[in-house]
Structure 1
Amino acid sequence: MEPITLTTDRLLLRPFVPGDAEALHAACQDPDIQRWTVVPSPYGLADAELFARQVSPGGWQDDSMYNFAVTVRDSGAVAGALGINRRTGPGTYEVGFWTAREHRGLGYTTEAVLCAARWTFASLGGDRLEWRAETGNLASRAVALRAGFRMEGDQRSGVINKGVRRDAWTGALLPSDLDLPGTDVYLPTGTAPAQP
């Protein structure tokens, strides 16, 4: 897929470019980002350059993951990162994100997640957007809840972070949660099928 840019009132979600490597490197020095996400630890400038120059563009090219630099429209500052990744099964995607320390508490990440969710449902034909975070990542869970994700439970050994399996919280957002139509018919448990 050709990379695209999404906008909200305050944000521009755009593909990463090689010039983002220094901002990525600086943000990912934050111990919380290294602790709770799958970025390498320690996180070197070479890691940021690899991500901005190869990993992120490669995901767009092979339609496996769509990574966005979350930037503040007024200043152009990189406030965070957000990725939409294909999961197994048609119409299922997963969202992941981090927020640079100096941009936390402003609602940027929730705004970005909602924008990316709408794009996933409308443009990618998504019918389910999953969120997963290591158990204990309260900041990520708060964003997911504010964005309307419904918590679905705990997974034992649900994520691998830096070579260690850890328990995870999971949740999902459906098109109907955002008053959008789905691609496939969804019949929740206990709902009677429509009569002809």
Structure 2
Amino acid sequence: MDSTGFVKLGAQLPALADILAQALQTLALPLNETQQRTLLLYLDKLLLWNKAYNLTAITDPVEALIKHVIDCLAIIAHLPAGSLLDIGTGAGLPAVIIAICQPERHCTALDSNKKKIRFIKQISSELGLNNVTPIAARIEAHEGQYDVVTSRAFASLIDFVEAAQPRLADNGYLCAMKGKVPSAEELQALQDTWQIKTIKLDVPRLEDSRHLIELSVKNV
């Protein structure tokens, strides 16, 4: 892979490119060379601008590739189609990763942290991502309807559903990235209104538990 444009990854680039290619193969996610390079450029810029924008506690490139990029790649095949809102996107995870993998999908990256949104604006421009709209706002102050609403920021599934439901289009889906499966109490509190699907994710090179919780409103 051509190292032009990479600042932080440098000598590690070939090894990182191999890890990414193997992960994509395991996930059966067919990305072309340009998309793979863009994912690595995103990682490079995440680490390059980390101190200025306070983006992540992870500074090791391999660890950041696995715990940020590949972790988000694991949900791609499970996402329903349509316009997407990512709440509490932080550095653009998963919004920017989804946008790189699915250029046909429009992704809105929402976070109340203005510095992090400035970072997303900057890298979206540098990486040529025309399908990302970064917005600095709290979810309560944001308007619009989306086919899919994602988040990996909420500790509580109930809090996520409460915040996200007003932004959900008819027949839309909420998709919460979680570590462990939410508690039986949380799921029980939601099951009267929501059809809940729990998808176990196998994230390449990550031993921690990962799940995607997909919710859609029950037709009464």
TM-score by length of 2: 0.29
Structure (1/2) with the larger helix percentage = 2
Structure (1/2) with the larger strand percentage = 1
